[in-house]
Each structure stands twice: as structure tokens, then as C-alpha cells.
Amino acid sequence: MAKMQAAFVTAFGKPLEIRTVDIPTPGPGQILVKTEACGVCHTDLHAANGDWPLKPVPPFIPGHEAIGRVVALGQGVTAVKEGERVGVPWLASACGHCEYCLSAWETVCGEAQFGGYTRNGGFAEYVVADPNYVAHIPDGLEPHEAAPLICAGVTTYKGLKETDARPGQWVAISGAGGLGNLAIQYAKAMGFKVAAVDIDDGKLAHATERGADLVFNALKGDVAADLKAATGGGAHGVLITAPSLSAFKQGVGMTRKLGTCVLVGLPPGEFPTPLFNVVADCITIRGSFVGTRQDMAEALAFAAEGKVKADIELAPLSDVNSIFDRLSKGEVASRVVLDFRAA
């Protein structure tokens, strides 16, 4: 049987193991995708550490930003063709008939499966996928450029929509890493004025290059007060991508009266909410989880039209542990993408 290389989480908090295993066979209704590229998201790190209440079961293959060509169809598949370029995202499948699926909120389906979490993901030369939930990659987008869009891109694009901010208004983006870097570009393309917040001055300099109108270092001074002063009352929409609990209270503090603070980062734990301010200022605090298939198509279209472009650093699969180490220390400039094309 033909073999492939894949990186496995074998125990939480332990280095990943590169193993040579059988190439999986797609079952009825499934497809096999030959991976060309797969982004490394901070969520993969949470998965490998078992950070969240819902835990994946080792051994498993992380990765939910895989792009590749369809190389085999299971029985009965008509939704995609062999040779098509697809993305295998976090939302790997859903039931299709619950109240959430029926109202186009498949992201919160109770039977949803998650790529690289409840199902093996894209840190592998081949990955099995559900053809009804793959992303369709527009012609003209290179696989390594498309990879970050299918999690970081769709998540921040959707999160910005969920702020309910309107063109010309202020949005603040807390965390200017893999997600934040794309969030800044989507926000500019959507017509917002953008304030970026991070704890790393290098990331903030990069945020300015990407179009941020204002930048704030979260560790210097009273950022919520400074941002409110600079924006004439706070951001109409706040998007928190930082994987740090302190960013959440700060993000609520940056929100304008009647504004919406959207929570996207997923550090384990809870954060204190300044209840009086939230109530008296009529602030909405809202969670947002990746995006639907329609959000995905819209997010990819922005990139196909040249309005956003992920900043990427290519690396081989064998570097996965050093990438995780750098990601945990905040040392990745924006997104590392595993490059499988030479393999």
C-alpha cells in the first residue's frame, strides 16, 4: 500500500511525531486530497496541548488550512471533480439538517466535525475530506497563498461582519499575528478605519504596512483610554484575535458606546467583564467561530480580486515542532505555511 508522511500529536504537550503511514482511502461520500500546502494556526497549538474543554483524541494529525488537488473520489461523490483544487477547513463537515444547518449556521451544528481536531487534518501529504464542506479555491490563487485564508481569513472576515460596524467607522483588531494580519487587510478592504493592538512593536510596524491607521502596544500605557481618545469615543467594532486573556478585558474597554466586541481568540480560561460599563454603554459582546461556506467563498473572493494577500513563510513538514515553539513564543511574523509541493 502506498505510504505518506504525516505529523501526529501522540500525547498532549509532547512534540509531534513524523510518521510514515498508509495513505487513507476515501469512504463513500468522501474524497482524497493530495496536500500542496497547509497553514499552521495557533489553534493547532491549542489542539496539541489539549487546551479546550472539548478535546481531540491522540493520536491525531492537526492542520485545518490544507490546500490540495482532489485525487480520488469515494462512492457517490458528485460535488467535486478529480483534479479540482480545494481547501480542507476547520469545519470539516456538519449534519446538514439541524436548526443551525438549516439557517446557514453550520458552524455551530452539534454534529460538526473539525479538521485536524476530531478528524485527521492537513499536516500530512494526503487528507480525506467531505466534498460538501471543502473550500473551492479560485483560479489564480496559489495554494500556499490560499492556505491561511481558509481559517485565518474566513474567521476574521466573518468576525468583522459580526461587529456590525459600517464602512467609515473604526474597528480595533487586538492581536496582529496570523489572524490579525489578515483581519487588518479585510477591514481596510471593507472600508473601515483600523486600529491594531499587539504586544510586539515589530508586529505593529508590519500592521502599519498592511494599512492600519493607528497602532497601540497593549503593554504600554492605558490602551483602552488612549484608543478611545484617538478615535473620538472608541471602536465601533472590536475583534479580539489575541490568544491572551488580558486582551479580552482590554478589548471590551476599547469598545465604543453601542459598539460590538467580537471574541475570536481562544486562550483557555475566563476573563473579567466590567459589567457596569457593558450595561451602561449598551455594548454587545459576541463570540464568533470560523465562518460558513458562504463566508468562505466571500473571503476567498477578496483574495482572488487582489484585495488581501496573506504574508507567509514557507517551511517543510519536518519543521513542525520548531514552528510550534516559535508560535507559542509569539515569534512568527504572521503565518507559517507547510509546503508539500517538493515532497
43 is a contact residue toward Zn ion (CB under 5 A): yes
Binding site for ligand NAD (CB under 6 A): 41-43, 46, 151, 155, 174-180, 197-200, 203, 218, 241-244, 246-247, 264-267, 288-290, 327, 330, 332
Q: Cell 497601540: give the residue.
A: 216
* Smallest distance from Zn ion to CB 106, Å: 6
Phi, psi of 189 (to 5 degrees): -65, -25
Contact in structure between 224 and 254 (CB atoms under 8 Å): yes
- Considering the complex, what minimum distance in angstroms separates the CB of residue 11 from ligand NAD? 20
Closer by beta carbon to ligand NAD, 266 or else 315:
266
Min dist. Cβ of residue 303 to ligand NAD (A): 17
For 126, the 3-state DSSP assignment is strand
Taking CA atoms, 248 is separated from 87, 224, 266, in Å, by: 31, 11, 10
Between residues 63 and 178, which has the closer beta carbon with respect to ligand NAD? 178
Please, which residue, 97 or 220, has the CB nearer to ligand NAD? 220
Distances in whole angstroms, Cα of residue 234 to Cα of each of 174, 264, 277: 13, 19, 13
Separation between Cα atoms, residue 313 and residue 307, nearest integer Å = 20
Q: Are 166 and 54 in contact (CB under 8 A)?
A: no
Q: Give the closest residue to 281 by CA, choosing from 309, 311, 261.
A: 261
Q: CA geometry: angle at 21 spanning 16 and 23, to 5°?
A: 120
Q: In what order do the strands lie in the sheet with 193-198?
A: 214-217, 193-198, 170-174, 235-240, 255-263, 284-287
CB of 68 to ligand NAD, least distance (A): 20
**Residue 200 interacts with which of ligand NAD, Zn ion, none, CB < 5 to 8 Å by class:** ligand NAD
| Residue 98 contacts which entry, ligand NAD, Zn ion, none (Cβ below 5-8 A, type-dependent) | Zn ion
94 touches which of ligand NAD, Zn ion, none (CB within 5 to 8 A by kind)?
A: Zn ion
267 binds, among ligand NAD, Zn ion, none (CB under 5 to 8 A by kind): ligand NAD
Residue 59 preceded by cis peptide, ω within 30 = yes
CB of 38 to ligand NAD, least distance (A): 13
Cell (9 digits) for 99: 436548526
Q: Which of Zn ion, ligand NAD, none has residue 244 at its interface (CB below 5 to 8 Å by kind)?
A: ligand NAD
Phi, psi of 179 (to 5 degrees): -75, -50
Q: Scan residues 80-139 and list those touching Zn ion (CB under 5 A).
A: 94-95, 98, 101, 109
Cβ proximity to ligand NAD: between 137 and 207 the closer is 207
| Residue among 6, 47, 73, 151 that touches Zn ion (CB under 5 A) | 151
Residue 101 touches which member of Zn ion, ligand NAD, none, C-beta under 5-8 Å by kind? Zn ion
Residue 75 beta carbon to Zn ion: minimum distance, rounded to whole angstroms: 23
DSSP calls for 292-330 = -HHHHHHHHHHHHTTS----EEEE-GGGHHHHHHHHHTT
Report the residue closest to ligand NAD, judged by CB: 177
Q: Is 141 in the site for Zn ion (CB under 5 A)?
A: no
Give dist(CA 111, CA 94) in Å, integer: 6
Q: Could you say which of 33, 41, 61, 128 contacts Zn ion (CB under 5 A)?
A: 41
Closest separation in Å from C-beta 31 to Zn ion: 20
Q: Rule CB under 5 A: which residues touch Zn ion?
A: 41, 43, 94-95, 98, 101, 109, 151
